[in-house]
Amino acid sequence: MKIFLLVLCFVVAFYNLSLPHLLFISLVPLFPFFVNIWLVPGGFAWRNLDLNPTKIPGPVGWPFLGILPKMGPHAHRKLASIASSMGATRLMAFSLGSTRVVITSHPETAKEILCGSVFSDRPIKESASLLMFERAIGFAPSGMYWRHLRRIAANHMFSPKRVSSLECLRQRVCDQMMEKVSNEMSVRGVVELRGILQKGSLRNIIESVFGSGLGLEIEEELGFMVKEGYELISEFHWGDYFPIRVLDFTGLKRRCHKLTLKVKSLVGQIVEERKRDSTKGTNNGPNDFLSVLLSLPEEDQLTHADMVAVLWEMIFRGTDTVAILVEWIMARMVLHQDIQAKAQHEIEELVGGHRVVQDSDIPNLSYVQAIIKEVLRLHPPGPLLSWARLSTHDVQVGKFFVPAGTTAMVNMWAITHDPSIWKNPWDFKPERFMEEDFPILGSDLRLAPFGSGRRVCPGKSLGLATVSLWLARLLQRYKWLPSTKVDLSECLKLSLELKRPLTCHAVVR
């Protein structure tokens, strides 16, 4: 180093170099350092060569930041493009700050990750932890408590019998949405579906969870809390990607703490009131999830704090997915009038015009079901199967070594747009699902919009039942026509949604 400084002084004196040149020369000895910590497959987080002995391919990205600058409303497309260009669809490594990540765009590798016991945990963002999701089904670490929650969900909350018992609620909420569609057409001449679907979806999940006795004021307050929660959990936070969790540059932790206090107060109050009613013999809502939790045997009962966290997560996660998916489907129906007409003809043939579609009709509406599957393929609500997995110990994935503590993602959007898997993948063609009974609940990773394995979405059957019934009824009642050019631009937030709300005309049939 001393010799270098002597040489540097001689060069500066001899060539009379400017300050920028001097700065450049002074940084030359640091180049090997930067090469070792940055210019490695996967980037900064993979700088220790022992972490990637099998050389998982991946982009170098920016120093220290990795590919964080590329993540945004089209992250699923950008990651698919990078993986394809590097020949890394099986597995690709990259860095999100100091966080090590691997991602697959291949169904076989996706199955290894999603169905493997090593990836049974989820990495939890600080905002998600602060909002109590660490004690709910989605983020609780694998173990006895999580298995207990999953068993309760499967046996008592999302069982076929429970889903069927909520049909009357789904029908009633759909009636209310139809009325709002009619009112908007009368007043404005056009319908903006997003607001109607969001309010309907919120009411549906709130009454599924708490029953029908809350009152409008409490329902609206819950809606405001869900909206705020989405904003917080979608917000970029440095502490999720760098070990600086003590800092709160944006005030996110303070806002999460404030919202959590509101949730504990309001949801906790609802739980306590229901407990008091049950001791008095008042049966306020035998079909709702809270009643189910309170009626569990003593050995299965949850603590008050855990019950609040579970109920809050159900409202939070159950609100947007249904509304977003139905809006995507209706955008496609408006855009593809021939497909809409074919679905309406199927409904008329099976149901006729003298009664509304019921749950029992849905299995026989094969073309309507094919439309839903095709929209899930083209516009999966969770294109990166958001909320990814975390390797609990070292594991071999295919031919690659993945170290413990690595975040693993599945790019479902890339899989469902892969021309080697799907013929003409960019075409909207529901007929492709009429040729075979294609499962979408997680057994076939060519299309698994709800995930797969142990962490598959527990409410998938309830969500599909709601989407199927509402879609069939919307098509049965109205012919949907464009009011402006249909814009299919995407925006990835917590879920993949239409960038601009869909507006259209609804004509009574």
Using a 10 angstrom Cβ sphere, with 0-12 exposed, 13-18 middle and 19 or more buried, the burial of residue 130 is: buried
User: For residue 34, which of 68, 7, 64 has the smallest C-alpha distance?
Assistant: 64
Token duo for residue 435? 């040729």
Q: Using 50, 70 and 90 to split pLDDT, how confident is the model at 240?
A: confident
- Higher-scoring residue by pLDDT: 278, 324: 324
CB neighbours of 72 closer than 8 A, spacing ≥ 6?
78, 492
Return the closest-CA partner of residue 503 out of 329, 334, 338, 375.
334
**Dihedrals phi, psi of 430, to nearest 5 degrees:** -60, -25
pLDDT at residue 21 greater than cutoff 60? no
Higher pLDDT, 21 or 164: 164
Q: Which residues define the annotated binding site?
A: 457
Q: Where are the domains of the chain?
A: 2-37, 106-508
**496 has which bridge partners?**
492
Burial of 228 (0-12, 13-18, 19+ CB in 10 A): middle
Confidence of residue 496 (pLDDT cuts 50, 70, 90): very high
- pTM here is 0.90
CATH for the stretch 106-508: 1.10.630.10
Q: Using 50, 70 and 90 to split pLDDT, how confident is the model at 28?
A: very low
- 402-454 tens-digit pLDDT: 999 999 999 999 999 999 999 999 999 999 999 888 999 989 999 999 999 98
| Segment 67-108, tens digit of pLDDT | 998 888 999 999 999 999 999 999 999 999 999 999 999 999
| Phi, psi angles (nearest 5°) of residue 66 | 65, -135
**Binning pLDDT at 50, 70 and 90, where does residue 399 land?**
very high
Structure tokens at 310: 């579970």
What is residue 24's predicted lDDT score, i.e. its pLDDT? 46
Residue 279 has pLDDT above 80, yes or no: no
Burial class of residue 266 (count of CB atoms within 10 Å of its CB; 0-12, 13-18, 19+): middle
Pick from 331, 319, 301: nearest CA to 480: 331
Identify whether the C-beta of residue 210 lies closer than 8 Å to the C-beta of residue 202. no
pLDDT of residue 101: 96
Rounded to an integer, the average pLDDT of 490-506 is 94
Q: Supply 235's token pair.
A: 């917000």
List residues bridging with 95 in a β-sheet.
100
**Type of residue at 17:** L
- 3-state SS, 210-237, equals HCCCCCHHHHHHHHHHHHHHHHHHHCCC
- Helix or strand holding residue 497 (H, E): strand 496-498
Q: What is the mean pLDDT of residues 236-259?
A: 82
Residues of the binding site for heme? 457
Residue 147 or residue 34, greater confidence: 147
Instruction: Tell me the pLDDT band of 280, cut-offs 50, 70 and 90.
Output: low
pLDDT tens-place string over residues 447-465: 999 999 988 998 999 999 9
Report how far residue 406's alpha carbon sits from residue 58's, in angstroms, rounded to the nearest whole number: 14
- Kindly state the percentage of the chain with pLDDT values over 90: 66
Which residue reads 């002995």 in tokens?
A: 53
